[in-house]
Amino acid sequence: MKVGILGGGQLGQMLANAARDLSIETLVLDPKPDAVAAQITRHLIADWEDPAALDELAGCDVITYEFENVPVATVERLSEDVPVHPSPDALAFSGDRIIEKNLFRELGIDTATFAAVDSRADLDHAVREIGLPAILKTRRFGYDGKGQAVLRSASDLDAAWERLGEHALILEGFVPFDREVSVLAARGRDGEMRCWPATENVHVDGILHISRAPAPEVSAELLASAVAGLEAVMARLDYVGVLVVEFFQLGERLVANEMACRVHNSGHWTIEGAEASQFENHMRAVTGMPLESTGVEGFAAMVNLVGEIPSLSPLEGEAGVHLHVYGKSSAPGRKLGHVTVLADSREALEERLQRVLDVVGDRASDAS
Ligand code: AMP
């Protein structure tokens, strides 16, 4: 069995790793010569639409992706010859914040209030409808908080429009959330779905900082409603692979922010913290293998290493601490690695996590 992966960043690297453990061969397409998945699998360095590269990928048994902004033409070309999972349809839904939110609403999943903004007049109109504060975002190609502007007062509109106005935009009402929670699930080709415990996420400057799983104090009702939401999305899209939906939690209310049709940073803890990781179950799903258990024992937390890799030697060999360095070059805001912490109790987890933060630095306190 051979799986073609579109995108060769750290997600592709971890997918290829999981594939190797399952004796699945992989082949990655990424235009970047320094794509880190190349450290462990074959890498085609070519443009997304390069005919020879696509012909070679089309020789795989199945295609998947770790990068959602692959041109539609690439996915369509490949899907003529070989199954693509998750489907090109799913990619189209998750690639546009308005289409995605309309899907959530159609399926009864709560979202922030929103409006499409295609002109300066639209922006004024949307602000009147939605009120302030609000967040102006690009409809497409946004990630890690990029392509966004928070509008707190009417005087913020001109600068936001100046910066983002050349793109198709969405204005979202600001959700005064208590916390952010993501839910990851895998769905097999046979429709079987398995969910990992909900994960609590803390972002700094729009970039994930810390995940904790299982998310503390999630009521059974809240979890059930989130899982029902994912189930509905997956059924609607005839989904195969791992899907994540990121929610804002306000009291006992969940508001869907966005979904990603791929493995996700908030699920990295599953490598050591769950019976099967998101990478393993994604590979199992897309190749038609039965899914493995998403069960967990104990508690996990994950800290992202962003911008530069600190000296990790004080943590080497420490019980319950797992270091992941992707081999990428340093750059501000770039995810270069992560540390997963495991423990038998919440108290022990928080202690270990603090020890890790003391070594790697706490972006939350740096920002404040
Ligand atoms: P996103 O790119 O949509 O994931 O947004 C990045 C981060 O900005 C989120 O993780 C939130 O912390 C914040 N954010 C995005 N949209 C909203 C919203 N409508 N209300 C409040 N905070 C938001």
pLDDT in 10s for each residue of the chain, 368 residues: 999 999 999 999 999 999 999 999 999 999 999 999 999 999 999 999 999 999 999 999 999 999 988 988 899 999 999 999 999 989 989 989 999 999 999 999 999 999 999 999 999 999 999 999 999 999 998 766 678 999 999 999 999 999 999 999 999 999 999 999 999 999 999 999 999 999 999 999 889 999 999 999 999 999 999 999 999 999 999 999 999 999 999 999 999 999 999 999 999 999 999 999 999 999 999 999 999 999 999 999 999 999 999 999 999 999 999 999 999 999 999 999 999 999 999 999 999 999 999 999 999 887 65
Q: What's the gap between Cα 92 and its chain centre?
A: 16
Question: Probe ligand 1: pick from 257, 259, 264, max atoms within 8 Å of CB?
Answer: 257
Residue 125 alpha carbon to ligand 1 centre in Å: 21
Distance CA(247)–CA(10), nearest Å, equals 24
Quote the tokens at residue 232.
């509905």
Ligand 1: which atom is nearest the Cα of residue 175? 20
Residue 92 alpha carbon to ligand 1 centre in Å: 21
One fold for 113-173 and 179-367:
no
The one-letter code for the residue type at 10 is Q
Check residue 144 and give its pLDDT.
66
Check residue 368 and give its pLDDT.
53
What is the architecture of the domain spanning 2-84? 3-Layer(aba) Sandwich (3.40)
CATH 3.30.470.20 holds for 179-367: yes
The one-letter code for the residue type at 21 is D
Among 40, 29, 43, 113, residue whose Cα is nearest residue 74: 29
Distance CA(316)–CA(355), nearest Å, equals 12
Residue 241 alpha carbon to ligand 1 centre in Å: 25
Ligand 1: which atom is nearest the Cα of residue 146? 2
Ligand 1 interacting residues, C-beta cut-off 6 A: 112, 135, 142, 145, 172, 174-175, 180, 203, 206, 257-258
Ligand 1: which atom is nearest the Cα of residue 177? 21
Check residue 28 and give its pLDDT.
98
Among 255, 247, 99, 135, residue whose Cα is nearest residue 181: 247
Any idea where the domains of the chain sit in the sequence?
2-84, 113-173, 179-367
Check residue 59 and give its pLDDT.
97
Check residue 259 and give its pLDDT.
96
Name the closest-CA residue to atom 1, ligand 1: 145
Residue 292 alpha carbon to ligand 1 centre in Å: 32
Q: Are 142 and 148 in contact (CB under 8 A)?
A: yes
- At residue 104's C-alpha, the angle toward residues 119 and 212, to 5°, is 105
Check residue 237 and give its pLDDT.
96
Q: What is the CATH number of domain 113-173?
A: 3.30.1490.20
Task: For residue 67, count other CB atoms closer than 10 A to its CB.
Answer: 18
Check residue 49 and give its pLDDT.
96
